Amino acid sequence: VVPFSENERMPISLPFTSQRTDSSFTHVPVALGPRSYDIHIGAGVAIHAMESLTALGQGLRVAVITDTHVAPFYAESVVQALKGAGFVVSLIVVEAGEISKDWATLAKICDEILSAKIERGDLLLALGGGVIGDLVGFAASIVRRGVRFVQMPTTLLAQVDSSVGGKTGINSSHGKNLIGSFYQPSLVLVDTTFLNTLPEREFKAGYAEVIKYGLINNIDFFDWCETHWREIFSGEGGAREHAIATSCRAKAAVVAKDEHEKGDRALLNLGHTFGHALERMTGYDAARLVHGEGVSIGMAMAFRFSAERELCVWDDAIRVSDHLCQVGLPTTLQDIPGEHCSVDALLDAMLQDKKVVRGELTFILANGIGQSFIAKDIPISDVRAFLEEELQRG
Ligand code: NAD
Ligand code: GLY
């Protein structure tokens, strides 16, 4: 048994990192001292990596955890590649969707991991989107007080955001991601071929998180996305890989400086205070709103709120909304199908945000595109007035 403290010091180095002479895979390190690990990005990297782990594989147990949408496409090939490398493999499949980020599914996963006799030095492999990544990461952090895990993200959102940085967790009836831990993976394998089966709506939702990095601190990247978004969506040329690698580098840089969100990591939550409240209001019902769509509306609102407070010019707020609309993402509360919620219900949901300090709301606002900042102590009355306007938008 590998003690927990050593467990955290066991990144998984891939043999091909130093052997490959072609540049078809991009390598992004996440520098976190003893918890450092690598992100490998490229078409085919997942199976190639599994097959390359023969030195690690002999007799080691792996539990591959995935969901009901992803399993039919990829479970078999991943399991076979792992078996081929000498691992003893078990497969755990949970219901697809945000609804699975709950206690019951977490308990099921933990029980099945223990039934599979996974020990601390063995591996969990999260094969799926952000829901699977968050769930498996949380299970990894609590089963036997810590088991190594690998992120193998299959949505654009997970490839550019949730698989990196070690935020794990589940939702509560009180709100999004309120129960969880910081627990870093040992390896992240971003295989862009997984995106070929992703529904278009989910691809768009992930693109909201790509744009987020431009809006936070990289106007050049936002400009580039405005010009190249069609190639990112179609997968032609290298635009998709470039967008994913740029996003992963941006996230790795923020996480390396502020792993536990004591400061600037909060910038990554641009659009999330509004977005998380909207997800809660819509009951995590994917037919109405998925996470990335909530972030899209939230970012457009954060820019309008910034413009109203004369922190940025209206032209920037309009430019942000225009680009999100152009790719087919929602930008207003009216874009959410179904009944609208009240200002009180929205405010109540926002006050459960993890950035709330003694009842005061912290927002990520902007002085312009690429100039986001953390705004503390925003008066609730100002937020109320803004939400009333937003609800009256037509
Ligand atoms: P998701 O995991 O629900 O995946 C979206 C849908 O796509 C699901 O139905 C899934 O089954 C399906 N799917 C996944 N990959 C597929 C593929 N390759 N082909 C076909 N279908 C596929 O949602 P998501 O958007 O990936 O992640 C959202 C979650 O991530 C939210 O819970 C959010 O809170 C979390 N998140 C976490 C972090 C973090 O830092 N930990 C960051 C951002 C978001
Ligand atoms: N997605 C926000 C974070 O990782 O901090």
**Which atom of ligand 2 has the smallest separation from the CA of 167?**
4
Evaluate if residue 157 carries a pLDDT over 90.
yes
Q: Is the CB of 271 under 6 A from ligand 2?
A: no
Ligand 2 centroid vs 164 CA: distance in angstroms? 8
Which ligand does the CA of 94 lie closest to? 1
pLDDT at 14: 77
201-251 pLDDT, tens digit per residue, is 999 999 999 999 999 999 999 999 999 999 999 999 999 999 999 999 999
**Which atom of ligand 1 has the smallest separation from the CA of 73?**
19
pLDDT at 3: 40
pLDDT at 10: 62
pLDDT at 349: 87
Q: Give the integer Cα–Cα distance in Å for 156 and 24.
A: 19
User: In this prediction, what percent of the chain has a pLDDT beyond 90?
Assistant: 82
Pocket test for ligand 1, best of 135, 154, 176 (most atoms within 8 A of CB): 154
The phi, psi pair for 111, rounded to 5°, reads -60, -45
Q: Confirm whether 69 is a catalytic residue.
A: no
Prediction pTM value: 0.95
Candidates 291, 293, 304, 390; catalytic one: 291
Whether residue 227 contacts residue 175, with contact meaning beta carbons closer than 8 Å, is answered with no
Between 340 and 389, the more confident residue is: 389
Ligand 1 centroid vs 358 CA: distance in angstroms? 31
**Tokens 């006799």 label which residue?**
117
Tokens of 12: 């998984």
Which ligand does the CA of 183 lie closest to? 1
pLDDT at 18: 44
Task: Give mean pLDDT, residues 306-331.
Answer: 98
Q: Give the integer Cα–Cα distance in Å for 186 and 39.
A: 9
Q: Confirm whether 101 is a catalytic residue.
A: no
Task: Give mean pLDDT, residues 309-313.
Answer: 97
pLDDT band at 23 (very low <50, low <70, confident <90, very high): low
Helix H segments across 85-199?
103-115, 130-142, 156-157
Q: Please name the amino acid found at residue 382.
A: D
45-103 pLDDT, tens digit per residue, is 999 998 888 878 889 999 999 999 999 999 999 999 999 999 999 999 999 999 999 99
For residue 355, how many C-alpha atoms fall within 13 Å in the half-sphere facing its CB? 26
Whether residue 278 contacts residue 297, with contact meaning beta carbons closer than 8 Å, is answered with yes
Whether residue 347 contacts residue 390, with contact meaning beta carbons closer than 8 Å, is answered with no
Whether residue 356 contacts residue 295, with contact meaning beta carbons closer than 8 Å, is answered with no
Q: Confirm whether 209 is a catalytic residue.
A: yes
**What is the enclosing helix (H) or strand (E) of 317?**
helix 314-326
